[in-house]
Amino acid sequence: MTDSKIYQASTTAPVNIAVVKYWGKRDAKLNLPTNSSVSVTLSQKDLRTHTTAACSATFPSEDTLLLNGSPQDVSGARTQACFRELRALRSALEAQDSSLPKLAALPLRVVSENNFPTAAGLASSAAGFAALVRAIANLYELPSSPTDLSRIARQGSGSACRSLFGGYVAWQMGNEVDGSDSVAVEVAPTSHWPTMRALILVVSAEKKGVSSTSGMQITVATSELFQRRAEVVVPKHMELMEKAIKEKDFETFAKVTMMESNSFHATCLDTYPPIFYLNDVSRAAIRVVEDINAAAGKTIAAYTFDAGPNAVIYFEEKDLDAVAGPLKSALSGLDGWQAAEREIKVQGLDKVDERAVKVLKDGVSRIILTSVGEGPIKTEESLLKADGTALRQN
């Protein structure tokens, strides 16, 4: 008799935004990077993927993945690698303990929902693969640590490995050919430095021209400056950044964050043909951050940009008015300000470049005000109906 039970587990997982950037693979299949990186995990209150992983003998025999109600292709090497590695761990458990149900052999049904627009360029694949791996690990009741799981999530999407932890997270590039030491580790938990805030300016983007996966491969192949970044610049920034986080030294954190972003985008521009992620709106955001820091007489805000034009501005809670004030004054009409933990004083618009403000007004479509936050959180909230079908399916 077949077991008709539907086994399932659910989790949420966060987005992370790197302050030392991942760009360049030394092994494209295993997603092994050419340099280490560091990120801040962002609060799941504002940005998270919610995932339910289920398996059952009653499911059709193919593994499936539904994202925001739409079926996704799971035949790609990256998703397959995650499924395969997690199943292997489950099989090992089952081999040790014959009383365990034989879940590894059952088809998987994974259902995911983001609480933010997937297309907005907000590192959705990091949260997505972290949630997928964490949910299946929970389903399989694996004893794996977040670092163990990061090794698997990395194969889904490089930066996903960092979303297995909350707070401040390093992805150590590792040296091994099989990637066994290319994993995420905690630099410091959220509680160590809980006052870190992030203001995201979502830019009404042109469609992304170059995917980050192909982009970084072209950079490695063609940029003459890239090698120096990987060999000299990033190791130095890693050391400075880990120390800054441990000492809660915002000025160093900020300076390294900004130089890192610039260095990464410089190697994109040095790629042939060149890759541009920053546009005039991004430049205006940089100018406004520079003006905010100049007005404060010290560095209280740091910009960083991933593979897209959105600005992420890090600052400390005590500087909420000084940093978010001018931006709220400029962008008061946009959604997102209501999420502030306290009313932001509308002020300081006179301290920032007028032309940059105009460019932001025309080019920013939405803001997200968030903070450093926790890693994946187990939840009982399932995205499946009692019969095992998805609550939402387009």
Specify the residue, 271 or 370, whose C-beta has the smaller distance to a copy of itself. Answer: 271
50 binds a copy of itself (CB under 8 A): no
258 binds a copy of itself (CB under 8 A): yes
Minimum CB separation of residue 283 from a copy of itself in Å reads 5
Contacts with a copy of itself in 170-199 (CB under 8 A)? none
- Listed ranges 72-80, 140-148, 265-273, 332-340: which one lies at the site for a copy of itself (CB under 8 A): 265-273
Q: What is the 3-state secondary structure (H, E, C) of the chain?
A: CCCCCCEEEEEEEECEEEEECCCCEEECCCCEECCCEEEEEECCCCCEEEEEEEECCCCCCCCEEEECCEEECCCCHHHHHHHHHHHHHHHHHHHHCCCCCCCCCCCEEEEEEECCCHHHCCCHHHHHHHHHHHHHHHHCCCCCCHHHHHHHHHHHCHHHHHHHCCCEEEEECCCCCCCCCCEEEEEECHHHCCCEEEEEEEECCCCCCCCHHHHHHHHHHHCCCHHHHHHHHHHHHHHHHHHHHHCCCHHHHHHHHHHHHHHHHHHHHCCCCCCCCCCHHHHHHHHHHHHHHHHHCCCCEEEECCCCCCEEEEEEHHHHHHHHHHHHHHCCCCCCHHHCCCCCCCCCHHHCCHHHHHHHHHHEEEEEEEEECCCCEEECCCCECCCCCECCCC
Minimum CB separation of residue 321 from a copy of itself in Å reads 23
Q: Convert residues 310-349 into a mask of x (bound to a copy of itself by CB under 8 A) and - (unbound).
A: ----------------------------------------
How many CB atoms sit inside 10 A of residue 117's CB?
A: 13
137 binds a copy of itself (CB under 8 A): no
Specify the residue, 140 or 277, whose C-beta has the smaller distance to a copy of itself. Answer: 277
- Listed ranges 117-125, 143-151, 273-281, 325-333: which one lies at the site for a copy of itself (CB under 8 A): 273-281
- Listed ranges 83-91, 125-133, 194-202, 269-277: which one lies at the site for a copy of itself (CB under 8 A): 269-277
Minimum CB separation of residue 263 from a copy of itself in Å reads 5
Pairing of β 64-67 and β 16-20: unpaired
Minimum CB separation of residue 310 from a copy of itself in Å reads 16
- Listed ranges 19-27, 127-135, 148-156, 272-280: which one lies at the site for a copy of itself (CB under 8 A): 272-280
Candidate residues 84, 228, 358, 385; the one interacting with a copy of itself per rule CB under 8 A: 228
Count Cα neighbours of 313 within 13 Å in the Cβ-side half-sphere: 30
Candidate residues 229, 311, 326, 383; the one interacting with a copy of itself per rule CB under 8 A: 229
What's at 348, amino acid-wise? G
Candidate residues 273, 381, 386, 394; the one interacting with a copy of itself per rule CB under 8 A: 273
Token representation of residue 318 = 């005590």
- Listed ranges 120-128, 264-272, 312-320, 330-338: which one lies at the site for a copy of itself (CB under 8 A): 264-272
Candidate residues 95, 105, 177, 232; the one interacting with a copy of itself per rule CB under 8 A: 232
Tokens 């470049």 -> residue: 353
Minimum CB separation of residue 139 from a copy of itself in Å reads 45
- Listed ranges 25-33, 70-78, 103-111, 255-263: which one lies at the site for a copy of itself (CB under 8 A): 255-263
- Footprint of a copy of itself on this chain (CB under 8 A)? 206, 223-225, 227-229, 232-233, 236, 255, 258-259, 262-263, 265-267, 269-274, 276, 279-280, 283, 286, 290, 355
